Amino acid sequence: MQEPALTSGQAGSARYPFLRFNGAPPRASTYSTSHYRTDGPDRAAQLAQALGWFSIGVGLAELLAPRAAARTIGMDKERPLLLRSFGARELASGLGILVTGRRPAGWLWARVAGDAMDLAALAAAAGSARSRRGRIALTAAAVAGVTALDVLSSLQNSRRAARPASEPASGGVQVDQCIAVNRSAEDCYRFWREFENLPRFMQHLESVQTTSDNRSHWVAKGPAGMSVEWDAEVTAEQPNQFIAWHSMEGADVENAGIVRFERAAGGRGTMVHVELQYRPPGGAAGAMVAKLFGEEPSQQIEEDLRRFKQLIETGEIATTIGQPSGRRGPVARLLRKGEPG
């Protein structure tokens, strides 16, 4: 296959502008520091998601324990229906923000209106309960701070909603991992380029099928026993040096990345360096849920590279059945008890 070699910054950028690679060569000895983050320009989405979860937390507290919530903020605890109505409003706003994903501006403005109602209720309570004015004043100051964040997030997301559809969206999660392998760059490249080999060490992959010289079909394990699929295209490669790819239109999970094979210092094997960016289903909330289950991409890729090292160096992958494995999320430890690796 004869294709022009592109830099990592170019690979994948034409079709998915939100995917960018820093192009920095791998450093360190065995494992590099990994990065798990969302791009800076998408902080508006992160703030909106955080406010959504905050709203749900407050709403549940007011719905389930209205008298305790009233006592905490200094309001009359004998009016539980008022607190429950506030809780229902908070819960609806939080769910609306999370469900609408990248277009939550309407629900955020609903939170601003709710903040105004909260401040009015606190002002009324302060006028009728002098003994609780200090506590009410502290609560009002906290509500005013949250109101400022709600207004800021509402303005940010209103501007995003008004942005032309053709303008690139950001918010891809980036993963950067590196490992030293005691095999030649030629061996590592040749093994990796046979994409059908990837499910042998990538546990989240069910299958990869090559459909042409530079295209392949991928099936991966999704949440709750589901599967996700996509077609991928090799956008650039240099034999024994790097392979770059991106997912095709219609992918369940938009992704792009590059894997590089660089000779280690002193001729001691190869540094295999993987940079991956993808857009998680559900945005930042989906990424947080994945992290809770111990399945965020940074953790996956680190474990996959360890298995790749074992497989290509020894021809087999050690299992840890019945042995302590690495750190996992609390739910994952229950769901995956006894599984290999």
Angle at 230 between CA 23 and CA 335, to 5 degrees: 95
Q: First and final CA of the chain: distance in angstroms?
A: 36
Token digits of residue 265? 């210092």
Which region among 50-64, 89-103, 122-136, 277-291 has the lowest average model confidence (pLDDT)?
A: 277-291
Secondary structure of residue 30 in the 3-state scheme: coil
What pLDDT is attached to residue 170?
46
28-70: pLDDT as tens digits: 333 333 333 434 446 777 788 888 899 898 889 888 888 888 7
**Cβ burial, residue 233 (10 Å; 0-12/13-18/19+):** middle
139 half-sphere exposure, CB direction, 13 A CA radius? 21
Q: Which amino acid is at 128?
A: S
Sign of torsion over alpha carbons 269, 214, 258, 314: negative
Which region among 230-239, 306-315, 317-326 has the lowest average model confidence (pLDDT)?
A: 317-326
Length of the chain: 341
218-254: pLDDT as tens digits: 998 876 567 888 999 999 999 999 999 999 988 877 8
Token digits of residue 159? 């501007």
Range with top average pLDDT, 4-8, 246-250, 270-274: 270-274
What pLDDT is attached to residue 269?
93
Alpha-carbon distance 38 to 174, whole Å? Answer: 6
CB atoms within 10 A of CB 111: 28
Angstrom CA distances, 119 to 75, 122, 140, 256, stand at 12, 5, 6, 47
The domain ranges of the chain are 42-162, 170-335
222 half-sphere exposure, CB direction, 13 A CA radius? 13
Q: At what angle do helices 66-73 and 43-64 cross, to 10 degrees?
A: 110
**Cβ burial, residue 100 (10 Å; 0-12/13-18/19+):** middle
**Cβ burial, residue 140 (10 Å; 0-12/13-18/19+):** buried
Q: Which amino acid is at 302?
A: E
Alpha-carbon distance 187 to 191, whole Å? Answer: 6
The residue among 217, 273, 226, 220 whose CA lies nearest residue 250 is 217
CATH of 170-335, one of 1.10.10.60, 3.30.530.20, 3.90.100.10, 3.30.70.270: 3.30.530.20
104-132: pLDDT as tens digits: 888 888 898 888 888 888 888 777 666 67
Token digits of residue 128? 């009728």
Facing residues of 229 across strands?
A: 219
pTM: 0.49
CB atoms within 10 A of CB 330: 10
* 232 secondary structure, DSSP code: E
User: Which residues 6+ apart lie within 8 Å of 32 measured at CB?
Assistant: 26, 176, 177, 178, 273
